[in-house]
Amino acid sequence: MKNYAVIGDPIQHSMSPVMHNDLFQFYGLDAEMKKVHIKTEMLEVGLQSLRDMNIDGFNVTVPYKQAIIPYLDELDPLSEAIGAVNTVVCENGKWMGYNTDGEGYLKGLLEQLPDLKQRRTLIVGSGGAARGIYFTLAHYGVQQIDICNRTLVKAVALKEACPFPVKTNIMEVALAEKMLGEYELIIQTTSIGMSPKIGASPIKMTNLKREAFVSDIIYNPLETKILSEAKARGAKTQNGIDMFVYQGALAFERWQGFFPDTDRMRYSVLTQLGG
């Protein structure tokens, strides 16, 4: 049997095992994925335990998408450029890191916004997921992508690290809230609002314009506070299911060698979440 895992802190919210184990069964694969909770101060010990059990591959979630890199043997060019990894392939004792977050997010977003390149965009947050999305959207050709974050130095570092040409302004959350009406697309990339702390929100939607599209990469709960507030103001919204499904499908392809049925993946996750 092949063994897979998803690691993070917290990890109880993750639906990756539900999605992948359903696919393993559907395709008749002798494989299983489990959640592995690794506390922040125990990352090195936790990863060594995965090596000891000869893990075949694993997903990486909050807060390890950047912290995992020193423990990997190789990175593919995209994950190296982004500086974050969410998928690890383990073969012949070597761990290879990939980033399927950005590509997965882009696939899901283009289904909703074919005019994506022309949309003035605001990214909320500057962590590992934000890097994947920011770099991928810049590479795709989105003309302006501003970033707001509680810690400005992190947002500045993200802007400076991007290898692709894009117009970007950096601002504090308070200023972004005042300017919110200028954006056609708002992308929430932090873990704020994720289960179990569903009452939290990283940015107020008070000045959101009705024509805007608000996307939150969180999928548990299906409607975060920020999406609920955006919907109440007439904006169109997208939760993290599309990104989650497509990044998972790309990870599955890395592990198994073929691209899986994404409709089945979406259905299994929504069924589990009661959506």
Work out the average pLDDT over 166-179: 98
List, for residues 191-225, the tens digit of each pLDDT value.
999 988 999 999 999 999 999 999 999 998 999 99
- Rounded Cα distance between 162 and 167, Å, is 11
User: Does the annotation list 137 as a binding residue?
Assistant: no
Average predicted confidence (pLDDT) for the chain: 96
- Rounded Cα distance between 4 and 90, Å, is 10
pTM of the model: 0.90
- Domain 2-98+242-273 matches domain 102-238 at the CATH topology level: yes
Task: Choose which CATH entry (3.40.47.10, 3.40.50.2000, 3.40.50.10860, 1.20.810.10) describes domain 2-98+242-273.
Answer: 3.40.50.10860
Whole-number pLDDT of residue 24: 98
CA angle 59, 245, 211 (to 5 degrees): 125
Given a cut of 80, is residue 275 above it in pLDDT?
no
* Residue 197 annotated among the catalytic residues of the structure: no
Tokens at residue 118, please? 């022309």
Work out the average pLDDT over 117-133: 94
Residue extents of the structural domains in the chain: 2-98+242-273, 102-238
User: Does the annotation list 136 as a binding residue?
Assistant: no
- Rounded Cα distance between 93 and 53, Å, is 11
Residue 20, classified by CB atoms within 10 Å of its CB into exposed (0-12), middle (13-18) or buried (19+), is buried
User: Does the annotation list 112 as a binding residue?
Assistant: no
User: Does the annotation list 191 as a binding residue?
Assistant: no
Extended strands (E) in 138-230:
145-148, 170-171, 185-188, 213-216
Whether 98 contacts 85, CB under 8 Å: yes
User: Does the annotation list 151 as a binding residue?
Assistant: yes
Work out the average pLDDT over 128-132: 89
Given a cut of 70, is residue 18 above it in pLDDT?
yes
Closest by CA to 273, choosing from 94, 11, 13, is 13
**Which residue is catalytic, options 35, 65, 107, 225?**
65
Whether 2 contacts 31, CB under 8 Å: yes
Q: 102-238 belongs to which homologous superfamily?
A: NAD(P)-binding Rossmann-like Domain (3.40.50.720)
User: Does the annotation list 169 as a binding residue?
Assistant: no
